[in-house]
Structure 1
Amino acid sequence: MNRKVVTTLGFAIGFQLLVLCGVYVNAALPLWLGKEVRISTVPVDPRSMFRGNYAQLRYEISEIVETEFSDSDPNMNQLRNGEVVYVSLEQNGDGLYQFSGASLEKPATGVFLRGRVASRYYSSVVRIKYGIEAYFAPKDKALALEAKLRDGGVAVLMVSDSGKARLKEVVAE
């Protein structure tokens, strides 16, 4: 085989591996370097025939009134689906984090989550997805989790400085 072909093929394979490693590291970075944040959650559905055993989670910060955005302007066009938003959190007396503000601009300080507008309804309520809405678990653990979380629970998140969050675990309150 020609040396140039072998070199080109080696470069192509190495580049693909490098890209895959980069995607993995980018997804795992909040788990390795992020700050632990706990927020209240309510489970919605613990099983799906198509997605496997999981608990779908809902948060108070998943639905925000548009006027809560600090940089919103009454004359501004409505937020578009897919638009990046930042939701600031503050710790309450129980040690849980709760909503403290929302913005289209990345906050300079504090704990915040980066999300995307998923949809709008009731004319001014914005539904936001953060990528932490499903917790996958083995069948037995998912069923036990459903029973424990009937009255709510706490999602333990790892949040990076950029606002990316990963779900570490879900515990009963």
Structure 2
Amino acid sequence: MNKRAKQLVLACFVPVLILLGMCVKPLYTLITGEDMILQTKPLDPSDVFRGDYVTLRYEAEEVPIKLVEPSIVTRLQARGGEFEVFVLMQKKEGVHTPVKVTLSKPEKGKYLNGTISYIDKNNQGQETAFISYDLDNYYLEDNTGTKWEKASAKGEILAKLKVNNGYAILTDITTK
């Protein structure tokens, strides 16, 4: 094989290798990840271009300030911006809820990687940390979107996740 042919093979092989590498973490999480269930909050989406889907918000995205480490609050007040946090979760009545938000990776227990955006007052006037887990949309079978939108608007959807080292994949949704 001459030099030109080797370069062509290498040029074709590198993109394929990159694409395969992007699949490793999600597949590994699906195979080895632990199950977790999150409670959703009401939200009514509408977008004719995406087909049937439901947009999800989670109760675990609004964490009471008392569960957030003081160093995180200080960092947000001093510098602002978004940064990665670890949210330690505990199962209560069949649903996982936050028990602590920290900058350091927990050594034991189930946790999610999240991005803290800001601290503000929620609808009830309580100081709350707003955290995103990038688990927003779930695509559905055709002609089932209306049913799920109604359930979402009532806050009756539970989201099933697979979690491995804080990395989460939304695998399914169910109603209470």
What TM-score, normalized to structure 1? 0.84
Is the contact made by 1:114 and 1:163 (CA closer than 8 Å) also made in structure 2?
Answer: yes
CA distance in 2 between partners of 1:18 and 1:66 (Å):
43
CA distance in 2 between partners of 1:73 and 1:157 (Å):
29
Aligned to 2:86: 86
Is the contact made by 1:153 and 1:170 (CA closer than 8 Å) also made in structure 2?
Answer: yes
* Residues 9-18 or 79-88, more deviating: 79-88
Residue 128 (str. 1) matches residue 127 (str. 2): no
Residue segments in structure 2 that go unaligned for 5+ positions in a row: 122-126
Note the alpha carbon deviations across 1:48-101, whole angstroms, 9 max, x for none.
23443321111121122445223x239833164331111111111x22211111
Is the contact made by 1:43 and 1:56 (CA closer than 8 Å) also made in structure 2?
Answer: no
Aligned to 2:104: 105
Summarize the alignment of residues 21-40 of structure 1 with structure 2, pairs less than 5 Å apart. Answer: 21-40=20-39
Q: How many residues align?
A: 169
The verdict on how the C-alpha distance between 1:74 and 1:106 changes in structure 2, with shifts beyond 3 A counting, is closer
What is the letter of the counterpart of residue 85 of structure 2?
A: V
CA distance in 2 between partners of 1:21 and 1:52 (Å):
28
What is the letter of the counterpart of residue 64 of structure 1?
A: V
In the TM superposition, residue 118 of structure 1 has moved relative to its aligned partner by 3.6
Residue segments in structure 1 that go unaligned for 5+ positions in a row: none
What TM-score, normalized to structure 2? 0.83
Is the contact made by 1:131 and 1:166 (CA closer than 8 Å) also made in structure 2?
Answer: no
Corresponding residue SS for 1:47: coil
The verdict on how the C-alpha distance between 1:10 and 1:86 changes in structure 2, with shifts beyond 3 A counting, is same
Correspondence for 1:77 among 61, 68, 75: 75
Summarize the alignment of residues 44-55 of structure 1 with structure 2, pairs less than 5 Å apart. Answer: 44-55=43-54
What is the letter of the counterpart of residue 145 of structure 1?
A: W
What is the letter of the counterpart of residue 62 of structure 1?
A: E
CA distance in 2 between partners of 1:81 and 1:52 (Å):
33
Q: What fraction of aligned residue pairs are identical, expressed as a percent? A: 24
Aligned to 1:163: 166
